[in-house]
A and B are shown apart, each in its own frame.
Chain A
Amino acid sequence: MASATLYSVSYDLSSALLHGLGSILPPAAASVVTNSDLIVGLAVLIFAVILLAASMINTIVLIWWERKLLGRFMDRRGAMHVGYAGLLQNFADGLKLFRKNTFQPEEADALGFYGGPLAYMVTSLIIFGILPISSGWNSGALPLTLLLALAVFSFAPLFIFISAWSSNNKYSLMGGMRSAAQMIAYEVPILLAVVAVVIVSGSFNLTTIVYEQQNYWFWGPLVVALIVFVAGMLAEMERIPFDLPEAEAELVEGWNTEYGGMLFAFFMLADYLRALVGSILVVLLFLGGWTMPSWVPSAATSFPLAGIVWFMVKTYIVFGLFVWVRASLPRVRTDQLLRVGWNRMIPLSLLSIFLAAVLVTVKCLPVFGCVPSMGV
C-alpha cells in the first residue's frame, strides 16, 4: 500500500467509473466521458469528498471521544444510548441541529452573520485538506504545508470577530474581542515554537518534518517548544483553561451567543475541526507523525493503512490530553491569559529556538541520537 496515495486511489476510481460509463455509452459519448480532463476533475472531486468525509467523521468521533472521556473524568459514563456506547449520539445531535430553525436577530448584519460561520468552517476545512496524515495521504502536495496550515489557522479570529460583531449582541461583541486578543497573543509563541521544529528539521514541509523524526521524535529534545505549542494550541482552540471567549459563566456563550441550529453546528464542528487540526499538528511536529519507533515490532507497523491507524491513535491520545486538561483546570481571566501569553510564552518560545539552534550545532544528543540529514 506504500505506493498508493489517496490521490492515485481516487484517480483509479474515477477512471474506472468513467471508463465503465464509457463502455455502456455509444462511442461518441464515450470519448467525451473518458476524456482525461474529466477523469482528473472527477478524481479531484472524489479526493475532496473523501477528505471532507474523513474530516467530518473524525470531528464527530472526536466529540464522542471527548464526551466519553469527560464522562469518565466526571465519574459518569457519558453518552450511552444511541449506537454502541453512544457512538451515534453526535450524529443524532447533528441531525437535530439540521432540523432546527435558523433565525437571525433583527438588528444583525446578514452578510457577517451568515458569512462568518461559513468562512470559519471553510478555513478550518482547508487546513485539514492540506495536512498529511500518512505517507500516502497527500504527501508532497506542497513544499510549505506547515506555513500554509498555520496561516489559514490564524484567519479564525477575523471571522469570529466578524460574526460576533455582526450579531449585534454585547456578549457576542465581548467574546469576539476576547477571542481576537487571545488568538493574536498566542499566534506569536506558536509560530516561534514551530520555528524551533523548522530549524531542527530544516523544512516547512510536514512530510519532511515527519521523516526527519525517524531517529527520535522531536518532543524529547524540543520539549520547551512542545509545551509552548500545546499551550498556544489550547488557546487557539479556545478550550478550558483558555476558553474565555465563550466563557459561559459570564458571557452566556461568548461570540456565538446569537447562533442557533445549523449555524451553531457550523461553529461547533469548526471548533472541533480546529481541535483535531491542533492535535494533528502536535503529532506531526513532535510525535513522529505516522512513523513508529524502530523497537516497535514490524508486524504492528506493516499492515495495510498502518500509518493512518497509528496516526489517528496518536491524535486521539493527544486530544485526550486536551480533554484531561479541560476536565481538571478552571478558566483563567483575560488579563492573566494575555499576561501569560506575552510575558511567559514568548520568552519560552525564544528559549526553544535557542535550544533548537544548539541541537543543530551539536547534531547528536547522548540519549536521543543524531539529526538524520539536517535538512537539505
Chain B
Amino acid sequence: MSEMWINMGPQHPMTHGLWNLRVKIDGEMILDVDPEMGYLHRGIEKISEDRHYNEVITLMDRCCYVAGFAWEHLYILSAEEALHLRPPERAEYLRVLCDEFQRIGSHLMWYAAFVQDLGLMSPFLYGMRDRDLVLDLFQSYTGARMTYEYMRVGGVRNDLPPGFSDQARKVLDWLDARFPEYDQLCLGSTIFRERCDNLGLLKASDCVAHGVTGPMLRSAGMKRDLRKDRPYAAYDRLDFEVAVADGADVTARYLVRMEEMRQSVRILRQVLDWLDHHPGPVLADRLPRWLGAPYAPIGNEGYLLKRNYPKGVGFSAVEEPHGEAQAYVVNDGGEHPYRVKFRSPVFANISAARQYLVGYHVADIPPIMGSVDVCVGEVDR
C-alpha cells in the first residue's frame, strides 16, 4: 500500500465524540496526523454573552458531558470573582464533593472507553456499572444525572438530602474494593502491557511546550495539580497526594488516573466527615437580586441593580478530570457577562496529537487517544 490519508471520524468508534482525526498512513504506520475539530461547536462563549450569570451554568453542563460539575465550578469561581462574591464554606465543601465524585465518574467513563478501545469487553461494563452508582448519588441531590445545574454564583442550589453521606460512603467502599479488580484486568494482562508500554510517549518538556496538562502531564513525572498548587474551594483544607507516574506512556496515564480515583475517594471521605459536622447555609446571602432571579423584574424598571454593581474581571483555573481548565469572565457592569473565555485542557491535549501519534501503528491510535481522554464537548464548546 502506498501513502494515503484516512479520515478517522467524525463518526468513528475511536473518536468518542464528534471530531475527525485525519491520519496519513503508509501501510500500518502513521506518518502524519491532523485533527479536525468543530463538529460540536455550539458557540457557548457567544451564547454566554447574552445570558445572565446564573444562566451560563446551564451551558457549562453541556461543555463537557462527563465532567459537568468541574465546568460549573470553573465558571462559578471566575464569575464570583468578577462579581465580588464569596460563597459560604459549606458550599465550598459541597463543590469539592461534586468535583471529586465527578472526577471518579469521569475517570470511570474514561476507563470504560479506554479498555473498550483496547478490545477488553467486560471492564467496559464494569466501569459503566460503577459510574452509575456515582450518577445515582448525583441524582439524589441534584435531580439530574448528567446536566446538573447545581452550583450557583454565590454557593450551591440546595443542601444534601438526609442519608446522603451513608449512601455515599457505601459507594466509596464499593469503589475501593473495585480498584484492585480494575488493575488486575489491565495491568495483570500481558497483552495490555505489550500494547500500552512505551506507547504514545510524550516527555514532560514536550508536554509543557505544547500545553498538555492533567493526567498526561503527571504521567510524565511532573507533579502539577492545581488543587495543590493553586488551591481553590476547600482543597487547601483537605489531605491528599498528587498522583504521578514517570513512564510518560499510555500505561503511566492509566496509573495516574487510577491513583487519582483512589485519592478522590480519600478526599471524599474527609469531605463527607466535614459536611456531617458543619451544617450551615449553602448560598451566600445579600446576592444581587437580578442574580438570584434573573427573570423577575424589579418594580417597573427592569434590572435596576446592574447600574450600581461594580465592574470586574474573574479568572479561575480548576483541575478538571482531563487537565487544567481556565475561565476568564469580564463583567462590564451589565447583567450579562461581557466576554467569557474558556480554556479546555483537552483542546490543548489534542493539539499536540502530532507529537504523540506519529511513528506508531494505526492500531495504536485508539489506545493513545483513549489515554488522552477526549471529551469533544469542551474542545469545541
Check A-B contact in the complex, CB < 8 A: yes
B289 close to chain A: CB less than 8 A: no
B177 in the interface, Cβ–Cβ < 8 Å? no
A76: B residues at CB distance < 8 A: 125
Q: A74-B121, A75-B129, A327-B121 are in contact. Are A333 and B13 (CB under 8 A)?
A: no
* Nearest CB of A to B202, in Å: 20
A250 and B365 CA atoms in complex are apart in Å by 7
**A residues in contact with B13, CB < 8 Å:** 248-250, 252
Contacts of A329 in B (CB 8 A): 119-120, 189, 191
**A249 closest partner in B (C-beta):** B366
* Residue A298, interface by CB 8 Å: no
| Contact code string A321-344 (vs B, CB < 8 Å = 1, else 0) | 000001111111111100000000
Q: How distant is the Cα of A74 from the Cα of B125 in the complex, in angstroms?
A: 6
A27, chain B: closest CB distance, angstroms: 66
- The interface size of chain A toward B, counting residues with CB under 8 Å, comes to 31
CA A178 – CA B191 in complex, angstroms? 18
Asked if A334 contacts B121 (CB within 8 A), the reply is no
Answer yes or no: A281 CB below 8 A from chain B CBs: no
* A247 contacts B363, C-beta separation under 8 Å: yes
**B186 surroundings in chain A (CB, below 8 A):** 330
Asked whether, in the complex, the Cβ of B363 is within 8 Å of the Cβ of A330, the reply is no
Bound complex: CA of A332 vs CA of B191, how far in Å?
Answer: 6
CB proximity to B under 8 Å, residues A248-281: 248-252
B119 near A249 with CB under 8 A, answer yes
A75-B194 in contact given A177-B1, A330-B119, A330-B120 (Cβ < 8 Å): no
Q: How far is the CB of A107 from chain B (nearest CB, A)?
A: 15
A52-73: CB near B (< 8 Å → 1, else 0) gives 0000000000000000001001
B12 sits at the interface (CB 8 A): yes
Residues A330 and B191 in contact, CB atoms below 8 Å apart: yes
User: Across the interface, do A331 and B361 meet the contact criterion of CB distance under 8 Å?
Assistant: no
Q: How far is the CA of A327 from the CA of B126 in the complex (A)?
A: 12
Partner of B119, one of A241, A335, A336: A241
Does A171 count as interface, using CB distance less than 8 angstroms? yes
Contact A75 B126 (CB under 8 A): yes
Answer whether residue B116 sits at the interface, using C-beta atoms and an 8 A cutoff.
yes
The interface centre, meaning the residue of A177, A248, A326 with most chain B CB atoms within 10 A of its CB, is A248
Residues 46 to 65 of chain B near chain A (Cβ within 8 Å)? none
Indicate if the CB atoms of A73 and B8 lie closer than 8 Å. no
A residues 339-373 near B (Cβ < 8 Å) are none
User: Bound state CA distance, A249 and B185, in angstroms?
Assistant: 19
CB-CB < 8 A to B205: which residues of A?
none
Contact (A334, B28) CB under 8 Å given A241-B119, A249-B13:
yes
A174 to B26, CA, bound (A): 11
When chains A and B are docked, how far (Å) is the Cα of A328 from the Cα of B120?
6
- A285 to B119, alpha carbons, bound, how many Å? 30
Contact status A330-B189, CB under 8 Å = yes
Whole-angstrom CA separation of A241 from B6 in the bound complex = 25
Q: Given the complex, which residues of B lie within 8 Å of A243, measured CB to CB?
A: 119
Count of residues in B whose CB is under 8 Å from the partner chain? 33
**Does B364 lie at the interface of the complex (its beta carbon under 8 Å from any beta carbon of A)?**
yes
| B122 contacts chain A at the CB level, 8 A cutoff | yes
* Bound form: Cα–Cα A332–B1 in Å: 22
- Which residues of B have CB within 8 Å of A331? 118-119, 191, 195, 363
The answer to the question of B14 belonging to the interface, with a C-beta cut-off of 8 Å to chain A, is yes
CB pair B12–A252 under 8 Å, yes or no, is yes
Question: Contacts A171-B6, A330-B192 given: A75-B118 contact, CB under 8 Å?
Answer: no
B146 contact set on A, CB distance < 8 A: none
Tell me if B117 is interfacial: C-beta within 8 Å of chain A.
yes
Q: CB within 8 A of B116: which of A70, A241, A249, A334? A: A249
B118 touching A249 by the CB < 8 A rule?
A: yes
Partner of A332, one of B122, B195, B365: B195
Q: Does A18 contact B (CB under 8 A)?
A: no
Partner of A330, one of B118, B126, B365: B118
Residue on B with the closest CB to A251? B362
Greatest chain B CB density within 10 A among A74, A240, A326 is at: A74
A75, A249, A327, A333 interface centre (most CB from chain B within 10 Å)? A249
Q: Which residue of A lies closest to B361 (CB)?
A: A333
Nearest-CB residue, chain A, relative to B193:
A330
Tell me whether B119 and A334 are in contact (CB under 8 A).
Answer: no
Q: Which residues of A142-183 are within 8 A (CB) of B?
A: 170-171, 173-174, 177
B115 adjacent to chain A (CB < 8 Å): yes
Task: Report A168-209 residues with CB < 8 Å from chain B CB.
Answer: 170-171, 173-174, 177
Q: Which residue in chain A gives the minimum CB-CB distance to B119?
A: A331
Tell me whether A244 is interfacial, beta carbon within 8 Å. yes
Alpha-carbon distance between A46 and B77 when the two chains are bound, in angstroms:
77
B361 with A240: CB separation less than 8 A: no
- 1/0 contact string of B103-123 vs chain A (CB within 8 Å): 000000000000111111110
- How far apart are the CA atoms of A164 and B365 in the complex, in Å? 22
Q: Mark B180-201, 1 if CB is under 8 A from A, else 0.
A: 0000011001011011000000
The distance in angstroms between the C-alpha atoms of A327 and B6, with both chains bound, is 30
Q: Across the interface, do B122 and A73 meet the contact criterion of CB distance under 8 Å?
A: yes
Residues of B within 8 A of A74 (CB): 121-122, 124-126
In the complex, the 6 A-B pairs of residues with the closest C-beta atoms, listed nearest first: A331-B119, A249-B366, A74-B125, A330-B118, A249-B117, A330-B120
Given known contacts A73-B122, A240-B119, A330-B191, what 4 new A-B pairs fall within 8 Å (CB)? A74-B125, A240-B121, A247-B363, A331-B118
Query: Could you name 7 residue pairs across A and B whose Cβ atoms are closer than 8 Å?
Result: A247-B119, A247-B363, A247-B366, A249-B13, A250-B8, A250-B363, A327-B122
Interface residues of A (CB under 8 A from B): 70, 73-76, 170-171, 173-174, 177, 240-241, 243-244, 247-252, 326-336
